[in-house]
Amino acid sequence: MPLRGEFTPPGDKSISHRLILMSIAAEGEMTATGLADGDDVKTSLRLFRTLGGETRGPEDRLTLTGLGGRVKTDPGRPVELDCGNSGTTARLLAGLATGLPGVYVFDGDAQLRRRPMERLAEPLARMGARVETTDGRLPLRVTGGAPLHGLEYVNRAGSAQLKSAIILATLKADSPSLIIEPVPTRDHTEKLVNAWGGRAVPTPAGLIIHPGRLTMPPEATVPADPSSGAFFLTAAALQPGGRVTARSLLLSPGRLGFLRVLERLGAEVSLSLEKEEPEPVGRVTVAHQGPLKATEVTEIPSLVDEVPILALAAAFAEGTTVFRNLGELRFKETDRLAAIHTQLGAMGVQARVSGDDLFVTGPAALTLPEVLDSGHDHRLAMTLLLARHLAGRRTPVLGEESISISYPGFMADLARLSA
Ligand code: S3P
């Protein structure tokens, strides 16, 4: 059954995390409309409250009172910060904690405990912060309040989380930081710093972050998340008759790599911009318009979270699609590169990994096994749920409940778009 209709994906997860976590450092009061409703963003909210942050009102129009760095700590005892499954919470809050009084111990679930933290600890330590990992991973201990100095940092991993941690630490430093990005990553943190009265200045040499104070605006509206929207937009392109429109979508160029790939694969893609500030927002329609053809995908990090669904799309395209430089996917909720490869293979798709590149050959007739296994990775789970939908099957997807991490309404939206 081709997907047809309109939907509004949940609020953008990256922006939601930043609004909440930056409220720990900022002064003022802000009503945030449309914060993401997934478990990851709930984790950031829970930790905001653990640190003494107050909220009022309903979740979809939540008022947060900024802490201005005056966090609640228990003298003599570290503050325990359980980041659950959320890498964004752990990394951004660790950057922020270097400039807060007190001692913080960051931990998380088994998946988060696998993920690398040395690449975060190392630049923060170079800034003067006291940060200790456990063999390069969580638990991570930050002793806040050490004198911090600006840093020259090359973001070789292409990680917006690392960049953001350094930006947030620099706010409390005694000199600016210069962040050089060989490939640009999502820029939400620097945009918010500027919107909240700080100074993050893009220059030909790189992004210069100045130390300073933040004041939040009275209102913030969170656009819909393109990384969640990508699932249905992509699936619409795969079957004759498919046509799906996402409303109020964040149209930040650093997040739209998947749309460029869908166009190259041969889908019809149209965008209509409705608002430009503080972030571009509009409607996006994707439709099937004939057979798809293979392409080469080199746009990491602008589609870092969309690789699972794009790999499924590649299985519907004639020829071999190559995804280059997917090394970072090994450090996501699972080794996402290996998991995509294994699950595509289980569905009878010809796929192979060579170094950090993934090759997917299509068009494939999906032959589903008895069970699919998401490894409890939300983005893989949604991809597999769509694969079984496209194959017209009800194959169980192990770990499917992980979709609540980013898109609790996924199954309801799938039901509506396929009705
Ligand atoms: C995110 C950045 C990306 C992305 C994650 C959210 C962010 O991670 O995969 O889902 O909000 O900054 P990396 O920056 O580690 O690649």
> Please, what are the averages of pLDDT over each run of 10 residues along the chain (419 residues)?
97 98 98 98 98 97 98 93 98 98 97 98 98 98 97 98 98 98 98 98 98 98 98 98 98 98 98 96 98 97 98 98 98 97 98 98 96 98 98 97 98 97
CATH architecture of the domain with range 13-208: Alpha-beta prism (3.65)
How far does residue 32's CA lie from ligand 1's centre (Å)? 21
pLDDT of amino acid 391: 97
CA-nearest residue for atom 15, ligand 1, is 159
pLDDT of amino acid 76: 86
24 Cβ closer than 6 Å to some ligand 1 atom: no
343 Cβ closer than 6 Å to some ligand 1 atom: no
Residue type, 209: I
pLDDT of amino acid 283: 98
pLDDT of amino acid 417: 98
What end-to-end distance do the CA atoms of the chain give, in Å?
A: 8
Residue type, 384: L
Cβ pair 258, 226 in contact under 8 A: yes
Which residue ranges make up each domain of the chain? 13-208, 224-417
Cβ pair 192, 160 in contact under 8 A: no
Catalytically annotated residue among 82, 305, 373, 377: 305
What's domain 224-417's superfamily in CATH? Enolpyruvate transferase domain (3.65.10.10)
Q: Is 357 a catalytic residue?
A: no
160 Cβ closer than 6 Å to some ligand 1 atom: yes
Q: Which numbered atom of ligand 1 lies nearest the CA of 328?
A: 16
How far does residue 249's CA lie from ligand 1's centre (Å)? 18
159 Cβ closer than 6 Å to some ligand 1 atom: yes
169 Cβ closer than 6 Å to some ligand 1 atom: no
Domains 13-208 and 224-417 share a fold: yes
Nearest to 138 by CA among 74, 185, 174, 91: 91
Q: Hunting for tokens 């020259």 — which residue is that?
A: 152
Record the pTM: 0.98
Q: Which numbered atom of ligand 1 lies nearest the CA of 304?
A: 9
268 Cβ closer than 6 Å to some ligand 1 atom: no
Residues 6+ apart with CB under 8 A from 396: 370, 371, 372
